[in-house]
Amino acid sequence: MTTRDQLIAEAAKTMAADLATALDVDLVTAVEAIRRVIDTAPWDIANSVTPLPMEPPA
């Protein structure tokens, strides 16, 4: 797993945990909700995400 993949995985974990806390549900329910949103999104997420820079701007 690359550093970029690790950063994305950590961000996803944080997002799911924050959503679970905000909605007062367990983590599994929060992850399922996120997946439903992604699966039913009216846009092409894969083509709309801006790639993360590998190095910070100078």
Q: Give the whole-angstrom CA distance, residue 51 versus residue 42.
A: 20
What is the pLDDT at residue 50? 66
Mean pLDDT value of segment 8-29: 92
The answer to whether the beta carbons of residues 31 and 14 sit under 8 Å apart is no
- pLDDT: which is higher, 51 or 21: 21
pLDDT band per the 50, 70, 90 thresholds, residue 26: very high
Mean pLDDT value of segment 43-55: 65
Could you tell me the CA-to-CA distances from 39 to 6, 16, 33 in Å, in that order? 22, 16, 10
